[in-house]
Structure 1
């Protein structure tokens, strides 16, 4: 099949591109390179086609996707918790425009499936853990613009299916970790692991500044594991018109995560932190139940957090 991957030059997208290409699929990367880079695609560059497209331009999107069978729609304005607070209007407006362009292209060209990248942030207001897919609709909608917009994208899937019979699959990745994600210029601009590595390894902070109490709990999932789950969402019959959590069920507090990274970076000082005021909407706990993906797609995580940290920090030292 010919697979279009929007946002395929980004951190998560490029790993998904690699996975699809390694499995012999014809891959077309659709990206405007406002965030992603061609360097991220170096592993698969000779095997994929690149189309530079602004997905906010509806007609340009439709015109560029005529030969696509399945589209994996990852492109979005995305970042860490700080980023969500800086540009909430851009997140709502631009991500909505990209969704409309891609789904209208699906109607125009009768794609076999739209595989939509949602987010664990749709569970922002969950209070029962681990979260299951059927909690959506029972849990209050997200407060953050990013979480709300990702949930709106899921409604796009169902609405275009109901009106136009567009087949879809929704995946909700939980805290991807792996190479190719640099830290941001400011705290919270990128995700927490790049932020911690930068502050611990490069800035040599002592004590380490952390947001909030540090008791926030997250699970982290290696990008390769997520990529394998996305491949199954895009290709398996059982994934049609379903939604899936893709994440590890092993949670860790931010204090324990920071101390792990502190030790990986061989800091001589005894680990110590300075608690900073946390951002609004900083979810205190996020742990998924991914048993649905295990049952229907035969998918589960294989790479531990320790392996993922070792892989990320090794890349960080070499690349940055």
Structure 2
């Protein structure tokens, strides 16, 4: 069985590639290397095939899937909350084009399964926590272009199943953390942990600039745990035509997270923050209920936030 991982050279994708390779999967990485890098694939380079494909290009994309059995579709224009606000039209247009082309390829070549990477942002307007899969369709749709487009991708999966009998699974990762995610040049361009590490370790900010009140709550899930869950979503019979939250139920405020990183980096000054205006759509709380994944797929996160921070900051120091 040959498995394509789109966006496989990116942060999340390359870690998923590594996990699949350790499970003896026959992996083909689809990437145009606009964001991801070949260096991210170094650990598995001898075990994988790489196809340089821009999934927005319809005919080359459909042709490239001719010998594929399963696709884990991660490729998307993605970044931190600041990125979402800078290019909302690009996010909708480009990601929509990629989703359509991948699903049309699944129809054309009768793929066994499309495993679609959604996002915790589909729960942007949730008010009951932890969020469960049953809330999709009950809560208002996301206000942000990124969250709305990810939810649209889920509807694509349902529609292609209903019309063309394409088998799918959907996973929603909650704040992946791990190596290979560098910080951005601007605040909010990358996710919060790379952003904090850069400001605390490299820029030596004091006080630390933080967006909003700092009381926003997030859960963080080690990328290796997420990769294990994606593997089950891709291949487990019980995952067929189902959706799953993949995340830790342990929440932490941004102030608590920042102080953990501050202490880990050995800053001697007393921890202090400078609160700045938050971006629009800065969700105040995002905590998942992943019991469906536990019950159906026998999946639970195993790696703590403390271990994840140690792993990430060690990688950051050695690599960047």
Question: Shared fold (TM-score greater than 0.5)?
Answer: yes
Moved over 4 A (4+): none
Aligned 1:73-112 pairs, distance under 5 A:
73-112=73-112
- Counterpart in the other structure of 1:145: 145
Q: How far does residue 136 in structure 1 lie from its aligned partner after superposition?
A: 0.3
Q: How far does residue 265 in structure 1 lie from its aligned partner after superposition?
A: 0.2
SS at match of 1:43: helix
Is it true that 1:193 corresponds to 2:196 in the alignment?
Answer: no
- Counterpart in the other structure of 1:55: 55
Number of residue pairs the alignment of both structures matches:
320
- Counterpart in the other structure of 1:156: 156
Q: TM-score, normalised by structure 1?
A: 1.00
Q: How far does residue 156 in structure 1 lie from its aligned partner after superposition?
A: 0.5
Q: Unmatched 5+ residue regions in structure 1?
A: none
Q: How far does residue 278 in structure 1 lie from its aligned partner after superposition?
A: 0.2
Q: How far does residue 182 in structure 1 lie from its aligned partner after superposition?
A: 0.0
For each residue in 1:206-250, what CA deviation from the matched residue of structure 2 results, as whole angstroms up to 9, or x when unmatched? 000000000000000000000000000001000000000000000
Give the distance between the partners of 2:115 and 2:47, measured in 1 at CA.
21
Is it true that 1:118 corresponds to 2:118 in the alignment?
Answer: yes
Q: How far does residue 168 in structure 1 lie from its aligned partner after superposition?
A: 0.1
SS at match of 1:245: strand
- Counterpart in the other structure of 2:20: 20
For each residue in 1:130-168, what CA deviation from the matched residue of structure 2 results, as whole angstroms up to 9, or x when unmatched? 000000000000000000000000000000000000000
SS at match of 1:137: coil
SS at match of 2:43: coil
Q: Unmatched 5+ residue regions in structure 2?
A: none
Is it true that 1:220 corresponds to 2:220 in the alignment?
Answer: yes
- Counterpart in the other structure of 1:291: 291
Q: TM-score, normalised by structure 2?
A: 1.00
- Counterpart in the other structure of 2:246: 246
- Counterpart in the other structure of 1:309: 309
Give the distance between the partners of 1:209 and 1:25, measured in 2 at CA.
43
For each residue in 1:49-80, what CA deviation from the matched residue of structure 2 results, as whole angstroms up to 9, or x when unmatched? 00000100111100111111000000000000
SS at match of 1:44: helix
Aligned CA-pair RMSD? 0.3
- Counterpart in the other structure of 1:235: 235
